A = this chain, B = another copy of it.
Amino acid sequence: MDDQGSGPLKSIADLARLAGVSVSTVSRALTGKGALNKGTRARIQALADHHGFRMNVAAQNLRLGRTGAIAVLMPLGHARGQQLSDPFFLTMLGYLADALTDRGYDLLLSRVLPDRDDWLDTFIRTGRTDGVIVIGQSDQGAALARAAASYRPLVVWGEQVRGDGPVTVGTDNEAGGRLAAQHLVDRGRRTLAFFGDVGVPEFAARHVGFLAGLPPELRDDVVLVTSPVTSEASEATARDWFAAGNRPDGIFAASDVVALSLIAAAQQQGLQVPQDISIVGFDDIPLARLTRPALSTIRQDIEMGAHHLVDLLVRRIGGEDAGSVQIAPELLVRESS
């Protein structure tokens, strides 16, 4: 190395001294903002990356009055055993990480235990990030609406609520439910059931769409089974339900995880899928196409969802009044129906 023996460069002041210019010149050179002689800019930049110098992002952000980070809040609740195993979250996280990086933001991940109902306000007030993305509103609609009322850079993945809820990005869950209904009817199924917790807005919309997509004579006989979202619990629920003698010929599950549990439980009861019973899920998790039988499902476009979430958030940070977005779902027919 041909360092001048003055040690590592800790700040733009060091670099300025080395280059024989002032700190503001270095600042202009490295940020690319402000007018500056082409030559000096190039010279300073060359010097900078020759020494592997990087500006202190924290100081930069402090000066600019921002944090440079976006929080992604998820119910990663292993303690409470929620969707921890749901591959949906990780997929979403991957796409969000990309989209945020492209915009120059860091991704601050925070796990949330919504025990106290002011968890969101508390987080926001710390001012650790320039914006917040919440994945899955679950039953936290009230907390989200309250926070959204006074904090604009907040976007939520989930079902769009009427009234003054937060800005959301999500699949058109009702349309998804209708797709499932029409498909099961096409398959000649008549005795139908819905598995899911309609206390969760997303699932409620899927249920509504499912009923709406059915011919009137079938609609009233649809059984609604309130099922938990985790694999373990939903499988237990399904097992008990089949053991009680229930024998529908078509089931629409609120999520793929629930659908897979249903298949497992049905097979344990000696039922053939799809011969005896058609099962359709929702999400299209990677595993859906690998099980035997492969799962028919309503696909959510997670990549597009992540893209919209970030786009919306960035625009709201910029002061725009960007509104909610719905994404069209898609029916994937595989073996389970």
Contacts and interface: CB of A to CB of B under 8 A. Distances in A.
Interface of A: 52, 54, 56-59, 61-62, 67, 69, 72, 76-78, 84-87, 89-91, 93-95, 97-98, 101, 106-111, 125-128, 231-232, 235, 260-261, 264, 267-268, 285-287, 289-292, 303
A56 B94 contact: no
Contacts of A87: 84-85, 87, 90
A67 B95 CA distance: 25
A108 to B, nearest CB: 5
A330 B270 CA distance: 32
A79 to B, nearest CB: 8
Contacts of A267: 292
A110 B111 contact: no
Given A90-B90, A109-B109, A231 B84 contact: no
Contacts of A52: 125
A90 B94 contact: no
21 contacts: A56-B62, A57-B126, A58-B62, A58-B67, A59-B62, A72-B109, A76-B90, A76-B94, A78-B303, A84-B87, A85-B90, A90-B90, A90-B93, A94-B111, A106-B128, A107-B110, A109-B109, A231-B290, A267-B292, A268-B292, A287-B287
Contacts of A72: 109
A292 B268 CA distance: 9
A76 B57 CA distance: 24
B231 A286 contact: yes
B106 A93 contact: no
Nearest to A302: B78
Given A127-B57, A231-B286, A93 B78 contact: no
B260 A290 contact: yes
B84 A286 contact: yes
Contacts of A289: 232
A90 B88 CA distance: 10
A211 B203 CA distance: 49
Given A107-B108, A108-B106, A84 B94 contact: yes
Given A84-B90, A232-B289, 4 more contacts: A58-B62, A90-B90, A97-B111, A108-B109
A78 B91 contact: yes
B85 A126 contact: no
Nearest to A58: B62
Contact of A57 (B107, B128, B260): B128
Nearest to A94: B76
A54 B84 contact: no
B111 A108 contact: no
B287 A54 contact: no
A264 B57 CA distance: 49
A86 B94 CA distance: 12
Contacts of A59: 62
A61 B98 CA distance: 26
Contact of A85 (B67, B95, B287, B292): B287
